[in-house]
Structure 1
Amino acid sequence: MTRPIPYPVLLADEIARKLGQLADRLSHLPPTEAAQVIARVLGGDEDGVLGRVTHLMATSGIVAQAQAEKGLLPPEVALGLARAANDVHDVHLDLDEHLEALRDFSTAGARSSVKPALPAPLVVRRHR
Protein backbone atom coordinates (compact mmCIF):
# COMPACT_ATOMS: atom_id res chain seq x y z
CA MET A 1 0.00 0.00 0.00
CA THR A 2 1.39 3.39 -0.98
CA ARG A 3 1.54 6.17 1.56
CA PRO A 4 -0.63 9.21 0.84
CA ILE A 5 1.20 12.37 -0.11
CA PRO A 6 1.18 14.82 2.84
CA TYR A 7 -0.85 17.99 2.34
CA PRO A 8 2.17 20.34 2.66
CA VAL A 9 3.88 18.50 -0.22
CA LEU A 10 0.74 18.84 -2.35
CA LEU A 11 0.54 22.51 -1.38
CA ALA A 12 4.14 23.10 -2.48
CA ASP A 13 3.41 21.37 -5.80
CA GLU A 14 0.30 23.51 -6.32
CA ILE A 15 2.15 26.74 -5.52
CA ALA A 16 4.89 25.80 -7.99
CA ARG A 17 2.26 25.07 -10.65
CA LYS A 18 0.49 28.38 -9.99
CA LEU A 19 3.78 30.30 -10.20
CA GLY A 20 4.41 28.66 -13.56
CA GLN A 21 0.97 29.74 -14.76
CA LEU A 22 1.60 33.28 -13.58
CA ALA A 23 4.93 33.41 -15.42
CA ASP A 24 3.29 32.10 -18.60
CA ARG A 25 0.51 34.69 -18.46
CA LEU A 26 2.75 37.60 -17.51
CA SER A 27 4.32 37.90 -20.96
CA HIS A 28 0.89 38.23 -22.58
CA LEU A 29 -0.44 41.00 -20.35
CA PRO A 30 -0.70 44.65 -21.35
CA PRO A 31 2.18 46.71 -19.90
CA THR A 32 0.21 48.29 -17.05
CA GLU A 33 -1.22 44.93 -15.94
CA ALA A 34 2.21 43.31 -16.18
CA ALA A 35 3.65 46.07 -13.99
CA GLN A 36 0.83 45.53 -11.49
CA VAL A 37 1.58 41.79 -11.32
CA ILE A 38 5.33 42.40 -10.93
CA ALA A 39 4.63 44.93 -8.16
CA ARG A 40 2.50 42.32 -6.38
CA VAL A 41 5.27 39.75 -6.73
CA LEU A 42 7.73 42.17 -5.15
CA GLY A 43 5.23 43.50 -2.62
CA GLY A 44 6.68 44.90 0.55
CA ASP A 45 8.79 43.07 3.10
CA GLU A 46 6.29 40.28 3.71
CA ASP A 47 3.38 41.17 1.43
CA GLY A 48 4.63 39.95 -1.91
CA VAL A 49 5.57 36.59 -3.31
CA LEU A 50 9.28 37.33 -3.01
CA GLY A 51 8.95 38.23 0.68
CA ARG A 52 7.00 35.07 1.34
CA VAL A 53 9.59 32.98 -0.53
CA THR A 54 12.31 34.60 1.56
CA HIS A 55 10.40 33.68 4.72
CA LEU A 56 9.89 30.11 3.47
CA MET A 57 13.61 29.75 2.70
CA ALA A 58 14.58 31.08 6.13
CA THR A 59 12.12 28.72 7.83
CA SER A 60 13.46 25.84 5.74
CA GLY A 61 16.98 26.71 6.89
CA ILE A 62 15.91 26.67 10.54
CA VAL A 63 14.16 23.31 10.14
CA ALA A 64 17.16 21.86 8.28
CA GLN A 65 19.51 23.18 10.99
CA ALA A 66 17.51 21.41 13.70
CA GLN A 67 17.58 18.20 11.64
CA ALA A 68 21.31 18.56 10.98
CA GLU A 69 21.97 19.00 14.70
CA LYS A 70 20.19 15.65 15.27
CA GLY A 71 22.28 14.00 12.56
CA LEU A 72 19.33 13.58 10.19
CA LEU A 73 20.68 15.89 7.47
CA PRO A 74 24.18 16.90 6.45
CA PRO A 75 25.07 20.35 7.85
CA GLU A 76 25.74 21.55 4.29
CA VAL A 77 21.99 21.37 3.60
CA ALA A 78 21.18 23.75 6.45
CA LEU A 79 24.04 26.07 5.49
CA GLY A 80 22.95 26.06 1.84
CA LEU A 81 19.37 26.92 2.74
CA ALA A 82 20.49 29.72 5.07
CA ARG A 83 22.73 31.12 2.33
CA ALA A 84 19.89 30.88 -0.18
CA ALA A 85 17.54 32.72 2.19
CA ASN A 86 20.12 35.50 2.58
CA ASP A 87 20.64 35.71 -1.18
CA VAL A 88 16.90 35.89 -1.90
CA HIS A 89 16.56 38.55 0.79
CA ASP A 90 19.37 40.58 -0.79
CA VAL A 91 17.73 40.35 -4.22
CA HIS A 92 14.45 41.42 -2.65
CA LEU A 93 16.14 44.48 -1.14
CA ASP A 94 17.71 45.34 -4.51
CA LEU A 95 14.35 45.13 -6.29
CA ASP A 96 12.44 46.91 -3.53
CA GLU A 97 13.81 50.27 -4.68
CA HIS A 98 11.89 49.84 -7.96
CA LEU A 99 8.56 48.96 -6.36
CA GLU A 100 7.19 52.52 -6.38
CA ALA A 101 8.01 52.97 -10.07
CA LEU A 102 6.14 49.77 -10.89
CA ARG A 103 3.16 50.81 -8.77
CA ASP A 104 3.10 54.28 -10.29
CA PHE A 105 3.22 52.90 -13.82
CA SER A 106 0.56 50.28 -13.14
CA THR A 107 -1.89 52.90 -11.86
CA ALA A 108 -0.99 55.85 -14.09
CA GLY A 109 0.68 54.17 -17.07
CA ALA A 110 -2.19 54.83 -19.45
CA ARG A 111 -2.58 58.49 -18.49
CA SER A 112 -0.99 60.97 -20.84
CA SER A 113 -0.02 63.34 -18.00
CA VAL A 114 2.64 60.93 -16.78
CA LYS A 115 6.04 61.55 -18.34
CA PRO A 116 6.98 58.36 -20.22
CA ALA A 117 10.32 56.72 -19.60
CA LEU A 118 12.89 57.00 -22.34
CA PRO A 119 13.47 53.79 -24.28
CA ALA A 120 16.77 52.22 -23.28
CA PRO A 121 18.33 49.16 -24.85
CA LEU A 122 19.57 46.81 -22.18
CA VAL A 123 22.86 45.26 -23.17
CA VAL A 124 24.81 42.95 -20.94
CA ARG A 125 28.55 42.78 -21.49
CA ARG A 126 30.74 40.15 -19.96
CA HIS A 127 33.94 41.13 -18.26
CA ARG A 128 36.80 38.79 -19.09
Structure 2
Amino acid sequence: MSHPTPYPVRLADEITRQLRQLAEHLTQLPPHHATQVIARVLDPDDGLLGGVTHLVATGSAFAKDQAERGTLPPEVWLALGRASNELDAIGGDLDEHRATLGRVAAQPATTSAKPPAPAPLVVRRHR
Protein backbone atom coordinates (compact mmCIF):
# COMPACT_ATOMS: atom_id res chain seq x y z
CA MET A 1 0.00 0.00 0.00
CA SER A 2 1.43 3.38 -1.00
CA HIS A 3 1.73 6.21 1.48
CA PRO A 4 -0.37 9.30 0.78
CA THR A 5 1.57 12.38 -0.25
CA PRO A 6 1.91 14.72 2.75
CA TYR A 7 -0.04 17.95 2.55
CA PRO A 8 3.07 20.24 2.45
CA VAL A 9 4.39 18.33 -0.58
CA ARG A 10 1.02 18.66 -2.35
CA LEU A 11 0.98 22.35 -1.40
CA ALA A 12 4.45 22.87 -2.91
CA ASP A 13 3.32 21.10 -6.09
CA GLU A 14 0.19 23.27 -6.29
CA ILE A 15 2.13 26.49 -5.74
CA THR A 16 4.56 25.47 -8.48
CA ARG A 17 1.66 24.78 -10.83
CA GLN A 18 0.10 28.14 -10.02
CA LEU A 19 3.40 29.95 -10.57
CA ARG A 20 3.63 28.45 -14.04
CA GLN A 21 0.03 29.50 -14.65
CA LEU A 22 0.78 33.04 -13.46
CA ALA A 23 3.80 33.27 -15.76
CA GLU A 24 1.64 32.15 -18.68
CA HIS A 25 -0.98 34.77 -17.83
CA LEU A 26 1.72 37.42 -17.57
CA THR A 27 2.76 36.81 -21.19
CA GLN A 28 -0.81 37.49 -22.31
CA LEU A 29 -1.79 40.45 -20.14
CA PRO A 30 -1.97 44.01 -21.38
CA PRO A 31 1.08 46.02 -20.19
CA HIS A 32 -0.86 47.86 -17.46
CA HIS A 33 -2.10 44.65 -15.87
CA ALA A 34 1.25 42.89 -16.28
CA THR A 35 2.89 45.78 -14.42
CA GLN A 36 0.35 45.37 -11.60
CA VAL A 37 1.20 41.67 -11.33
CA ILE A 38 4.95 42.32 -11.33
CA ALA A 39 4.56 45.04 -8.67
CA ARG A 40 2.64 42.61 -6.45
CA VAL A 41 5.14 39.81 -6.98
CA LEU A 42 8.01 42.10 -5.97
CA ASP A 43 6.29 43.61 -2.92
CA PRO A 44 8.84 42.99 -0.14
CA ASP A 45 6.22 42.49 2.58
CA ASP A 46 3.44 40.54 0.90
CA GLY A 47 4.97 39.60 -2.46
CA LEU A 48 6.03 36.35 -3.95
CA LEU A 49 9.74 37.13 -4.03
CA GLY A 50 9.78 37.92 -0.31
CA GLY A 51 7.84 34.74 0.38
CA VAL A 52 10.24 32.59 -1.61
CA THR A 53 13.20 34.26 0.09
CA HIS A 54 11.66 33.51 3.49
CA LEU A 55 10.97 29.91 2.45
CA VAL A 56 14.57 29.36 1.33
CA ALA A 57 15.88 30.98 4.54
CA THR A 58 13.65 28.65 6.55
CA GLY A 59 14.96 25.71 4.52
CA SER A 60 18.49 26.87 5.26
CA ALA A 61 17.81 26.90 9.01
CA PHE A 62 16.36 23.38 8.73
CA ALA A 63 19.35 22.21 6.70
CA LYS A 64 21.76 23.70 9.25
CA ASP A 65 20.08 21.75 12.04
CA GLN A 66 20.15 18.57 9.96
CA ALA A 67 23.79 19.12 8.98
CA GLU A 68 24.71 19.53 12.65
CA ARG A 69 22.97 16.20 13.34
CA GLY A 70 24.82 14.56 10.47
CA THR A 71 21.72 13.74 8.39
CA LEU A 72 22.53 16.25 5.63
CA PRO A 73 25.91 17.21 4.22
CA PRO A 74 27.01 20.71 5.30
CA GLU A 75 27.20 21.68 1.62
CA VAL A 76 23.39 21.54 1.44
CA TRP A 77 23.09 24.03 4.28
CA LEU A 78 25.75 26.29 2.74
CA ALA A 79 24.07 26.19 -0.67
CA LEU A 80 20.66 27.07 0.81
CA GLY A 81 22.24 29.86 2.85
CA ARG A 82 23.90 31.30 -0.27
CA ALA A 83 20.64 31.04 -2.19
CA SER A 84 18.80 32.84 0.60
CA ASN A 85 21.41 35.61 0.65
CA GLU A 86 21.32 35.96 -3.13
CA LEU A 87 17.52 36.15 -3.19
CA ASP A 88 17.65 38.81 -0.48
CA ALA A 89 20.21 40.78 -2.51
CA ILE A 90 18.07 40.48 -5.63
CA GLY A 91 15.10 41.77 -3.64
CA GLY A 92 17.24 44.70 -2.53
CA ASP A 93 18.27 45.45 -6.11
CA LEU A 94 14.65 45.36 -7.25
CA ASP A 95 13.40 47.40 -4.30
CA GLU A 96 14.77 50.59 -5.85
CA HIS A 97 12.33 50.08 -8.74
CA ARG A 98 9.32 49.27 -6.58
CA ALA A 99 8.04 52.85 -6.48
CA THR A 100 8.21 53.12 -10.26
CA LEU A 101 6.36 49.84 -10.74
CA GLY A 102 3.73 50.88 -8.21
CA ARG A 103 3.27 54.26 -9.88
CA VAL A 104 2.90 52.73 -13.33
CA ALA A 105 0.58 50.01 -12.02
CA ALA A 106 -1.64 52.62 -10.32
CA GLN A 107 -2.11 54.64 -13.50
CA PRO A 108 -5.25 53.92 -15.49
CA ALA A 109 -4.68 52.18 -18.78
CA THR A 110 -4.36 54.74 -21.54
CA THR A 111 -5.83 54.42 -24.95
CA SER A 112 -4.14 57.47 -26.45
CA ALA A 113 -3.35 57.50 -30.15
CA LYS A 114 0.29 58.36 -29.44
CA PRO A 115 2.17 55.46 -27.83
CA PRO A 116 4.84 56.24 -25.25
CA ALA A 117 8.32 56.84 -26.60
CA PRO A 118 10.61 53.85 -26.18
CA ALA A 119 13.59 54.34 -23.90
CA PRO A 120 17.06 53.19 -24.84
CA LEU A 121 18.12 50.24 -22.73
CA VAL A 122 21.22 50.83 -20.65
CA VAL A 123 22.72 48.13 -18.51
CA ARG A 124 23.73 49.46 -15.11
CA ARG A 125 24.87 47.44 -12.18
CA HIS A 126 24.63 48.85 -8.66
CA ARG A 127 26.64 46.94 -6.11
What is the TM-score normalised by the length of structure 2? 0.87
Distance 1:27 1:98, change over 3 A: same
RMSD: 1.9
Q: 1:27 is paired with a residue of what secondary structure?
A: helix
Distance 1:3 1:121 in 2: 56
Match of 2:3 in 1: 3
Distance 2:116 2:41 in 1: 22
Distance 1:83 1:55 in 2: 13
The amino acid that maps onto 1:49 is L
The amino acid that maps onto 1:51 is G
1:73 aligns with 2:72: yes
Between the aligned residues of both structures, percent identity stands at: 56
Residues 3-50 of structure 1 deviation map (CA, whole Å, 9 limit, x = unaligned): 111100000000000000000110110111000000000012x31000
Distance 1:117 1:79, change over 3 A: farther
Question: Which 5+ residue runs of structure 2 have no aligned equivalent?
Answer: none
For residue 120 of structure 1, report the CA deviation from its aligned partner.
2.6
What is the TM-score normalised by the length of structure 1? 0.86
For residue 119 of structure 1, report the CA deviation from its aligned partner.
1.1
Distance 1:109 1:94 in 2: 27
Q: Deviating runs (4+, > 3 A) in structure 1?
A: 121-124
